[in-house]
Amino acid sequence: MGISKSTYNTIKSIKDQFGFCKLALIDPDLKNDTKLYNILKQINSSNFNGILIGGSSIEDDKYEQRVEFIKKNTDLPLVVFPGSSKQITKQIDTILYLNLISGRNPQYLIEEQVEGALDIYNFNIHAIPTAYILLNGGNFTAVSKYSNTKPLSMIDKDVVLKHALAGQFLGNELIYLDNGSGAINKIDINLLKYVSKYINIPIIVGGGLKNNKDIEEVVDAGASYVVLGTYFEDLLK
C-alpha cells in the first residue's frame, strides 16, 4: 500500500517557493468548541498556508467530530500535530511523527510512537519524523505538564544545538523548536541563528509568536516553518 505524500509536498513546495511556510495550530479541545468556526474563519482569511491539528490533551471524546468539522470548513492542507497516539486519525493523511528529544520521559521518546505505529500503517498516513525540542518560553506550558518534562533553557546554546544535531543524526526530517502554546517569550533569535548554522534539515519554530514582525525575525534567523496557535484564539477574546 502506497503512502500519500501530497499534503506534505504541498507544504514543502510553498516553503521552497517563498522561503518559508506559515502554519496555524488548532487545539481541537472542548475549550475551543464555541469559537472553532470563527478560528477557522480567521485562518482562512489570512495568508497562512496550512493547519496543524493537535493539543497536549483532549478532555472529551469529540476529537474526531472536531477534526471532521475542521476538514469541512477549510481548504488548507491539514497535518496532525499529536499530543498522544490517541490523536492519530484516518481523516488526515499526514502526521508529524514527534519524538520529544528534549525530555527523558520514555512515554514520549518511544512508547507513544510504538502505540500509534500500527494505526499509522493501517490508515496509510504519511508520517514525517520530527525531533521535537521544548524550550523555556518564560512560563509553565501544557506541554511540560502533560509530557512531564522540563524545557531546555535558551541561555545554553550548545545544549540546544546538541539536541538538534542528535535529532538530525537520528534521521528526522524536521527539527521543531517550540516554546509551547501560550508562551510569554518567543525563541531567542540569536539561539535560532546559532542552531541553524549547523542544521541542514528544515526547522519549525512555534510558541510565543504574536505578529508579523515575530514571523519575519524567526524566518530571517533560519526557520523554514512558523507556527501560530493561541494567536487566533486571542483574536476572539
Q: What is the pLDDT of residue 2?
A: 54
C-alpha grid cell, residue 48? 497562512
Instruction: Tell me the percentage of the chain whose pLDDT exceeds 90.
Output: 89
Between 219 and 233, residue with greater pLDDT: 219
What does the pLDDT average to over 88-117?
98
Q: What angle do CA 103, 67, 97 make, to 5 degrees?
A: 30
Each residue of 22-43: pLDDT tens digit? Answer: 999 999 999 899 999 999 999 9
Check whether 225 has a pLDDT greater than 90: yes
Contact yes or no for 223/194 (Cβ under 8 A) = no
Q: What is the pLDDT of residue 109?
A: 97
Q: What is the pLDDT of residue 233?
A: 82
Between 205 and 2, residue with greater pLDDT: 205
Contacts of 140 (CB under 8 A, 6+ apart): none
Count CB neighbours of 74 within 10 A. Answer: 18
C-alpha grid cell, residue 120? 499509522
Closest CA to 197 of 170, 158, 228, 169: 158
| Listed range (77-86, 92-101, 213-222, 226-235) with the worst mean pLDDT | 226-235
Q: What is the mean pLDDT of the chain?
A: 95
| Listed range (92-96, 105-109, 139-143, 189-193) with the worst mean pLDDT | 139-143
The fold of 6-235 is: TIM Barrel (3.20.20)
Instruction: Provide the β-strand partners of residue 116.
Output: none
Stated pTM of the model: 0.96
Each residue of 127-169: pLDDT tens digit? Answer: 999 999 999 999 999 999 999 999 999 999 999 999 999 999 9
What does the pLDDT average to over 179-204?
96
Q: What is the pLDDT of residue 1?
A: 44
What 3-state DSSP class applies to 11? helix
Closest CA to 130 of 97, 94, 84: 97
DSSP letters, 127-152, are EEEEEEEEB--SS--HHHHHHT-PPB
C-alpha grid cell, residue 82? 499529536
Alpha carbons 12 and 5: distance in angstroms, whole number: 10
